[in-house]
Amino acid sequence: MKVGVLALQGAFGLHEQVLNRIGVAAVQVRTPEELAEVDCLVIPGGESTAISKLLDANGLGDPLADRLTDGLPVLGTCAGMILLAAEVVDGYPGQHRFGAIDATVRRNGYGRQSESFHAPIHIEGWESAFPGVFIRAPVVESVGRDVEVLAELDGVPVLCRQGSTVVSSFHPELAQDDRIHRWFVERDWSTGHHRFVERE
């Protein structure tokens, strides 16, 4: 399986490092040709306005929308979540909303940098907490009925899945913990079968 990391702007290098650490050779995606070759995609944290504009500049907007419609497994963290959401509050006009997850998110909903934080995240069915790092993070305000909420913080969803789309408000790429990346790449997205074990 070929894992791509959208490498237009943001923490794509950190996602690559985590993937390499768990033995997955990730490739950077900047062009439609590179996108066409991957079996799943990570959309990193960064500035969603900048990434959205760069998607257009590099001719990736329509090809990415098509692949998402076809069920491309995708992990979107922070800015990635904003781009994948169906509705964005306080977004930038004209910003891409791919609608791969039926959620309404408020951009910078957790506040400015002074309110950026980390906190332990308890993920459904996992034994130990995941270190969640929230940087000017988006708040999930509501989710549709087809969305599975995998983790909440103070009653607010922070990790969600719908079909083969997985989104987080926080940055697993900033944590010294590879479980979310392993969970994402060790699932057979066509059958839903999981090879993932929390502890290795």
Catalytic residues: 78, 171, 173
Q: How far apart are CA 168 and CA 161, in angstroms?
A: 9
Q: Which of 33, 37, 39, 115 binds other proteins (CB under 8 A)?
A: 115
The nearer residue to other proteins, 107 or 179, going by C-beta atoms, is 107
The nearer residue to other proteins, 71 or 120, going by C-beta atoms, is 120
Amino acid at 53: K
- Residues shown for the chain: 200
Per-residue CA distances from 159 to 38, 63, 84, 112, 141 (Å): 23, 26, 13, 21, 13
Q: Which of 4, 38, 43, 53 binds other proteins (CB under 8 A)?
A: 53
Contact yes or no for 140/166 (Cβ under 8 A): no
Quick note: the x/- pattern for other proteins over 141-170, rule CB under 8 A, is: ------------xx----------------
Region near other proteins per CB under 8 A, out of 63-71, 97-105, 117-125, 178-186: 117-125
Size of the site for other proteins (CB under 8 A): 43
What stretches of the chain show up as alpha helix (H) in DSSP? 12-21, 32-36, 48-57, 61-69, 79-84, 179-185
How many Cβ atoms are within 10 Å of 117's Cβ, its own excluded?
A: 14
Region near other proteins per CB under 8 A, out of 47-55, 68-76, 97-105, 179-187: 47-55
How many Cβ atoms are within 10 Å of 192's Cβ, its own excluded?
A: 9
Is residue 118 within the footprint of other proteins (CB under 8 A)?
A: yes
Applying CB under 8 A, the residues found at the interface with other proteins are 7-14, 30, 45-47, 49-50, 53-54, 57-58, 78-79, 90-92, 107-108, 112-120, 133-136, 153-154, 171, 173-174
